[in-house]
Amino acid sequence: EVYLVESGGGLIQPGGSLRLSCAASGFTVSSNYMSWVRQASGRGLEWVSVIYSGGSTYYADSVKGRFTISRDTSKNTLYLQMNSLKLEDTAVYYCARGGKYNWNDWGQGTLVTVSS
């Protein structure tokens, strides 16, 4: 059984930093395509970042240069380092696992609130 459990969300001031974690079980993170997808309250889904099994990383223009996706093989965990946070980064952040083109498995999400 595949499980994805996000953590690390919370209340942070604009300009601050936060690191999200996604602990995985039932599969190997480093052998899969792993993404972060976010959803502001009452809004639609927005893809944030992906790390390919080979290690390549890609970002949405809205977070490029501020967010960094990474993984720890020994902990089988995916991360999202978020710097220079803006009000518009407020959202539930989901980690998701899938093939290269879409995502089969999702975590329950962690809420990030950027507010002064």
Partner 1 sequence: EVVLTQSPGTLSLSPGERATLSCRASQSVSSSYLAWYQQKPGQAPRLLIYGASSRATGIPDRFSGSGSGTDFTLTISRLEPEDFAVYYCQQYGSSQYTFGQGTKLEIK
Q: Which two tokens stand for residue 35?
A: 């993404």
Q: Measured from the CB atom, is 8 or 109 closer to partner 1?
A: 109
Report how far Cα 114 is from the mean position of its chain's Cα atoms.
16
CA distances, 66 to each of 5, 35, 48, 52, 63 (Å):
23, 16, 11, 19, 5
CA distances, 74 to each of 24, 62, 78, 80, 90 (Å):
11, 30, 11, 17, 30
Q: Measured from the CB atom, is 14 or 99 closer to partner 1?
A: 99
Q: Which residues bind partner 1 (CB under 8 A)?
A: 35, 37, 44-47, 50, 56, 58, 60-61, 94, 98-104, 106-109
Smallest gap from Cβ 84 to partner 1, in A, equals 21
Smallest gap from Cβ 106 to partner 1, in A, equals 4
Smallest gap from Cβ 17 to partner 1, in A, equals 25
Q: Is 23 helix (H, G, I), strand (E, B) or coil?
A: strand
Q: Measured from the CB atom, is 3 or 17 closer to partner 1?
A: 3
Smallest gap from Cβ 21 to partner 1, in A, equals 16
